[in-house]
Amino acid sequence: MSFDLPVLPDGWTYHSLGSCAKPDSVTYGVVQPGSPVEDGVPMIRVNNFRDAQIEHADVLRISSEIEAKYARTRLTGGEVLLTLVGSVGQVSVVPKGLVGFNVARAVGVIRPLPDVGPEWIAICLRSPFSQNLLTSRANTTVQTTINLKDVRALPIPIPPKNERVRITKLISALAACRAYPEVCDNHTR
């Protein structure tokens, strides 16, 4: 798959998303969850995404027997989740509070390499550039869907580590101000 890529600053390079993740770790979750189970394993679905967060008050719970077949997508914290079906392109980094949860087929799990990091991958996937690429590659025949092959091929700009850390800190601070404006208002007076 070819992309018309913008020119990057000196020292930056493009890498495919697949090469920024651990081997075979860009995948999707539970295909057939079965009937809900009251004390089952919680499963994140597209409807649980709220902005860049995961709302887990209303998760579907599935049987541990079904969930065990999808150990590859069992969450350990620090993964990047990407919606693949319906509202394609929503992104969230998994907090430690969701350890042991799993995800539905409509949600992709990306386990970034440590030197790239989940925050950087999430920033890149949320960018207008990546969102446009995801939308342009989506199949809209029945329900909007993005193929994992296309997700793995997405170009991710990688700056030198010191720049990546500075950009990540800045964007995280701006996101915190958006989420908690009263805190930022107190610091800007």
70: CATH: 3.90.220.20
Percent of the chain with pLDDT over 70: 95
Does 175 reside within a domain? no
Whole-angstrom distance, CA of residue 52 vs CA of residue 55: 10
State residue 187's pLDDT score.
55
Q: Which domain holds residue 143?
A: 13-158
Whole-angstrom distance, CA of residue 63 vs CA of residue 71: 13
Does 169 reside within a domain? no
Does 32 reside within a domain? yes
* Number of domains observed in the structure of the chain: 1
Tens-digit pLDDT profile for residues 122-181: 999 999 999 999 998 888 877 889 999 999 999 999 999 999 999 999 998 887 777 677
> Which pTM was predicted?
0.91
Does 147 reside within a domain? yes
Does 5 reside within a domain? no
Going from the C-alpha of 118 to that of each of 61, 63, 139, 185, the distances in angstroms are 26, 29, 26, 28
Does 139 reside within a domain? yes
Mean pLDDT of 74-85: 97
Does 185 reside within a domain? no
State residue 146's pLDDT score.
93
State residue 186's pLDDT score.
59
pLDDT averaged over every residue in the chain: 92
Does 184 reside within a domain? no
Rounded (10°) angle between helices 118-126 and 128-137: 70
Looking at per-residue pLDDT, the higher value among 175 and 105 belongs to: 105
